């Protein structure tokens, strides 16, 4: 098994000793073994040949992730890197983290919670320093790891919207980011065949899927490390302004602002990200659906702010 790594996020001459593979049809073939450096020439040649991703074996990902995260502060402050390279490195590291913890028992979340907080801090710093988040996130799209990419999208959009709408302290923004990053954690407890089903769900299947906010809330609450703000996001990111959401059917002022904003970010990301069964919608088309077909789902004031997010 292999994990896909965005080529733009690989910083030449710094990688740890892990083999790198390149896609060849449906297979992965060895590009560089662990003893050979990954150079600027390698990266430029691959980009010139329209290669966008390399692959790392699943068994090597823990070593790769540990290296990236431990060196992230230094890499992000490297003035020789272009801003988009720093952003791609940061967001790819965040996707890798989500992939790792979602694929392991809940105890893994508790063991690596400090890593999560550091990654959200770096995303927060990037949003504060950046002119926009849309371009940075665009290169992460890959339908084979949609859940993990989507989680990073939602966290980034949610933090950005909170910063535009409210004057919040850093701790609350971190709570928002952590809750948004884990908003779909409950899907770990939903059968994969159900999550990947391409056609319309039966009523029973849909009712099971609707339990994922409760499953996620219960599992993360028991760890006793998530704040009430973060847990509220996990449980209520599918509530709707008109009361027709789930799991509790909350409406209007009964829905916390952090859950309302994450709900916006969740749907916007889902509509504008490539999926296995459909292409991403343009930003304008996604907003038209959210304003028109989904009328009553969102707080109109918050939706107006999303329209101006770049």
Residues assigned a catalytic role: 187
Structure tokens at 63: 């070593």
CB atoms near residue 43 (< 10 Å) = 18
Exposed/middle/buried for residue 245 (C-beta within 10 Å: 0-12, 13-18, 19+) = buried
- Cα–Cα–Cα angle for 48, 22, 181, rounded to 5 degrees: 95
> End-to-end CA distance of the chain, in Å?
36
Q: Which residues face 29 on adjacent strands?
A: 22
CA–CA distances in Å: residue 49 to residues 15, 163, 256: 21, 39, 48
Q: Which of 298, 231, 230 is nearest to 268 (CA)?
A: 298
**CA atoms of 90 and 156, how far apart (whole Å):** 12
- Phi, psi (rounded to 5 degrees) for 173: -65, -35
Q: What are phi and psi of 211, to 5 degrees?
A: -85, -10
Residues 6+ apart with CB under 8 A from 186: 211, 212, 213, 214, 215, 216, 217, 219, 234
C-alpha 277: how far from its chain's center? 19
């Amino acid at each position: 098994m292999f994990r896909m790594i965005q080529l733009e996020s690989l910083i030449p001459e710094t990688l740890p000793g892990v083999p790198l593979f390149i896609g060849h049809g449906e297979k992965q073939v060895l590009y560089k073994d662990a003893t050979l450096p990954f150079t600027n020439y390698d990266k430029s040649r691959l980009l010139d040949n329209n290669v966008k991703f390399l692959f790392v074996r699943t068994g090597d990902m823990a070593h790769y992730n540990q290296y990236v995260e431990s060196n992230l502060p230094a890499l992000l402050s490297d003035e020789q890197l272009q801003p988009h390279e720093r952003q791609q490195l940061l967001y790819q590291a965040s996707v890798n983290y989500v992939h790792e913890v979602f694929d392991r028992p809940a105890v893994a979340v508790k063991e690596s919670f400090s890593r999560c907080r550091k990654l959200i801090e770096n995303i927060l710093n990037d949003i504060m320093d950046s002119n926009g988040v849309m371009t940075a996130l665009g290169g992460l799209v890959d339908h084979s790891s949609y859940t993990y990419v989507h989680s990073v999208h939602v966290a980034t959009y949610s933090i950005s919207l909170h910063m535009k709408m409210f004057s919040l302290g850093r701790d609350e923004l971190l709570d928002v980011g952590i809750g948004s990053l884990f908003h779909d954690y409950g899907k770990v407890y939903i059968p994969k065949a159900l999550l990947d089903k391409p056609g319309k769900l039966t009523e029973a299947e849909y009712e099971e899927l609707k339990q994922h906010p409760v499953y996620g809330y219960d599992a993360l609450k028991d760890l006793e490390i998530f704040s009430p703000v973060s847990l509220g996001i996990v449980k209520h990111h599918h509530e709707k302004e008109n009361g027709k959401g789930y799991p509790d059917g909350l409406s209007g002022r009964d829905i916390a602002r952090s859950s309302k904003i994450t709900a916006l970010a969740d749907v916007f990301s889902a509509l504008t990200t490539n999926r296995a069964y459909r292409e991403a919608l343009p930003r304008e088309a996604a907003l038209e659906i959210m304003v028109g077909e989904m009328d009553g789902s969102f707080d109109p004031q918050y939706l107006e702010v999303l329209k101006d997010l770049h």
